[in-house]
Structure 1
Amino acid sequence: MAGGTSGQAEQAIRLRDLQFSWSGRTSFRMEVPDLRVARGEKVFLLGESGSGKSTLLSLICGINAPQRGTVEVDGTALGSLSAAARDRFRAERIGVIFQMFNLLPYASPLENILLPLSFAKARRARVADPRAEALRLTAGLGLEADLVCGARASELSIGQQQRVAAARALIGGPALIVADEPTSALDAARQGDFLDLLMQQTEAEGATLLMVSHDARLAERFDRVMDLSQVVLTSREGPGAGG
């Protein structure tokens, strides 16, 4: 936990003395003195739009690398890995629910959900029947099997795409689930269904969950709530900074 004393082996996420700024942009700079998330913990990170939450998640997932400091996920220092090795590590160990979904538009929802298993052998090995598991996850999120198997992702509504992105992140039981505003396109009933499934999956797999959102009403479902402004220091010199 932030500022805590838990040993490294107990940490799912550890950021130390981190500094990051966008290359070629002087409008946004981020510093994270110390951020810790324990293994198996479910953490809600509250942050407004433009506060840097998407940038922070990209650093934790190894999509971007800091200019200074360390990012450790599940005991692995991401800075010690090549870009290709970080991609492999992310595929195996992290399920990411992107704010913009990042679905393949001309593939079916089912094909999108199964895609991580093509790159992550360990996740694939944990799923006896990938198609059945994908349909179980999507049924829990209120998506009908005919839609999941027959439509193109581009034909889905925003809320449906968001639920497909969630199922893709959950399949294969990755050790860490990172979710960036995953309920923003869902109504209240669908938000409840989504959080129920998210909590059930993470608990069943003993996974760690880090979710960021601007919606404080969702926070009560989590083990710990952190305000992004108290964890991450940001500075801006112009418009368009952060995420």
Structure 2
Amino acid sequence: MASSMLSAAPAMDVHNAQIVCKDVSHWFLKSDGTPIQVLDRVSISLEPHSFTSLLGPSGCGKTTLLRVIDGLIRPAVGTVIVGGEAVTGPSANRAMVFQEHNLLPWKTAQENIRFGCKLVGIPASESLRRANEAIALMGLNGFEHHLPSQLSGGMKQRVGIARALSIHPQFLLMDEPFGALDAQTREVLQIELLKIWEADRKTVVFVTHSLDEAILLSDRIVIMGTRPGHIKAVIDVDLPRPRSDDMRADPVWTNLRRHLWQLLKPEMIEVAG
């Protein structure tokens, strides 16, 4: 059965940790200039080659925390260390996959992937090799010269993931990458992502609203509370790998899902109220 730590700031074991957030707090300004706190003393450490999901209601700061880890946002308070170095901005060893694919509409799938390489200084000949490698990995052969307007939603997201993988990052940060897809496409891409992750075990942080998606993919699930965003619990997923949809009937899965919902339900009610 899953184990949990039910404190606002779980104790950290930073030995060999690849991602460390320590006492991270952040505020945004409303349109009238009033500050609103979105993260409150978030502390967590993630092990090398682990797959961690951030799970919580809308507005709990999941995306903000992911962007802080990537270096797209500098936290108002606290420190973030990734790969042994303090995060001061974006880096080529971290790649972000967004909920919206953010593809350039005038570039083909291959050109969009190569553009990601160009941004981090990868030479043209190498970017072509990497793009073709990522195209094959994501099952995009035959679509490499299609514009985004000629691709389905699932194919566009495959291109977005391929673009992130092409720079060969140590850390893959994914912000609800399957959230806008239909259920069937989402399940297919979940399994494909699992296979890709099993092959090279990048350190992944994955934002989701789906309990089942978090269970299927993760070694660890971080439950976030809201108003302001904080860590409510950290849950280890005690299911063997490799994983598959067939495990949904496993009592460990069903018990874990029930436990996650018990933790999330009060947060969902508070947001809805």
TM-score between the two structures when normalised by the length of structure 2: 0.70
Other-structure match for 1:18: 24
Q: Is the 8 A contact 1:15 1:34 kept in 2?
A: yes
Q: Deviation of residue 125 (structure 1)?
A: 10
AA matched with 1:114: R
Match of 2:85 in 1: 76
Change over 3 Å in CA distance of 1:26–1:35 after alignment to 2: same
Q: Is 1:185 aligned to residue 180 of structure 2?
A: yes
Q: Which moved more, 1:185-194 or 1:44-53?
A: 185-194
Q: How many residues align?
A: 219
Alignment-derived partner of residue 132 in structure 2 = 132
SS in 1 for 2:225: helix
Asked if the contact 1:123/1:174 (under 8 Å) is kept, the reply is: no
Shifted more, 67-76 versus 153-162: the winner is 153-162
Is residue 59–residue 66 contact of structure 1 (8 Å, CA) maintained in 2? yes
**Unpaired runs of at least 5, structure 2:** 232-273
Q: What is residue 239 of structure 1 aligned with on the other side?
A: none
Return the alpha-carbon distance in structure 1 between the equivalents of residues 123 and 186 of structure 2.
26
Checking the alignment, whether the CA contact within 8 Å between 1:162 and 1:185 is kept in structure 2 is no
Structure scoring higher RCO (CA < 8 A, sep ≥ 6) equals: 1
Residue 49 of structure 1 aligns to a residue in which SS? coil
Identical columns (%): 29
Letter in structure 1 aligned against 2:99: Q
Q: What's the Cα RMSD here?
A: 2.9
Partner of 1:241: none
SS in 1 for 2:67: helix
CA contact (8 A) 1:48 1:213 kept: no
After superposition, residues 168-207 of structure 1 pair within 5 angstroms as 168-207=163-202
> CA–CA distance in 2 between the matches of 1:59 and 1:123?
28
The amino acid across from 2:74 in the alignment is A
Normalised TM-score (structure 1): 0.78
Between Structure 1 and Structure 2, the one with more helix by share is 1
The one-character-per-residue Cα deviations of 1:167-195 (angstroms, maximum 9, x if unpaired) are 21122431111111111123333223322
Secondary structure of the 2:19 match is: strand
Q: Which runs of 5+ in 1 are unaligned?
A: 235-243
Does residue 4 (structure 1) correspond to residue 1 (structure 2)? The answer is: no
